A and B are shown apart, each in its own frame.
Chain A
């Protein structure tokens, strides 16, 4: 089992719809969770962090965390063509030496069509 798993997509949604991106992780001890957005030809940029069970909203973005089921999701409301990008989930996993190593999923490609 991979440490962080995402559906590679592409996920295609019409403009104005809700896009739902999912991520599962293997380490039950993980305490923080991050979503990055990567436009084609650009570097990943951090868009959401979530640390507690439940929902965290930031504008059109909502991150949802369920530690018992070991999944974290990202909802994008009122999707726009400009949201078309690859979305990466990242979770710190314990690494030998007593510190955490941030593990990225392979990313889900989102395409929002007009």
Chain B
């Protein structure tokens, strides 16, 4: 079946521009996470959606970052006024929630020039 789909796979943007990254989770998955991974580094948690509950935004690094999940399915991560330090791979993962594992998308590689 279809896995987690992320788009675009690559994004190059100029410093100061806004970007939107999209994640289509596996159908029926109620949990959705966004992570950031810089070159050679570990997963940096950004935000977690679980069903209709209020999202856990504790990992968002600044108010330039926001995310929404519409209809409990597709999620969009928005980065406003991008900075060079925002360059990284942004990973989305979804799961059934509870004690179930997550399944990752292929990520979006963001480069801010």
Chain A residues close to B by CB (< 8 Å): 31-32, 34, 42-46, 49, 51, 88, 90, 92, 95, 97, 99-102, 104, 106-107
A-B contact pairs, 7 of them (CB 8 A): A32-B99, A44-B43, A46-B103, A99-B50, A99-B97, A102-B101, A104-B45
Inter-chain contact A90/B91, CB cutoff 8 Å: no
- B102 and A43 form a contact (CB under 8 A): no
A43 to B106, CA, bound (A): 6
Residue of B nearest to A45 (CB): B104
Asked if B43 and A88 make an inter-chain contact with CB atoms under 8 angstroms apart, the answer reads yes
Compute the total of residue contacts between A and B using a CB distance below 8 Å: 55
Report the bound CA distance from A45 to B31 in whole Å.
17
B1: chain A residues at CB < 8 Å are none
For chain A, what secondary structure do more than half of its interface residues adopt (helix, strand, loop), or is it mixed?
strand
The 7 closest A-B pairs by CB, nearest first: A32-B99, A43-B104, A106-B42, A34-B101, A92-B99, A99-B50, A97-B53
Which residues of B have CB within 8 Å of A51?
A: 99
Report B-chain residues with C-beta under 8 Å of the C-beta of A49. 101
Size of chain B's interface in residues, with CB distance under 8 A?
Answer: 25
Report chain A residues within 8 Å CB of B51.
99
Give bound CA distance, A45 to B50, whole Å. Answer: 21
Tell me if A31 and B43 are in contact (CB < 8 A): no
Which listed residue (B31, B101, B106) contacts A90, Cβ 8 A?
Answer: B101
B56 adjacent to chain A (CB < 8 Å):
yes
Q: Indicate with 1 or 0, residue by residue over B69-101, a CB within 8 angstroms of chain A CB atoms.
A: 000000000000000000000010101011111
- Does B42 contact A104, Cβ atoms closer than 8 Å? yes
Q: Is B25 an interface residue (CB 8 A)?
A: no
- Apart from A43-B91, A43-B104: 10 A-B pairs, beta carbons within 8 A: A32-B101, A34-B101, A44-B93, A45-B104, A46-B102, A46-B103, A90-B101, A95-B50, A100-B98, A102-B31
Contact flag A101-B99 (CB < 8 Å), given A43-B91, A43-B107, A107-B42: no
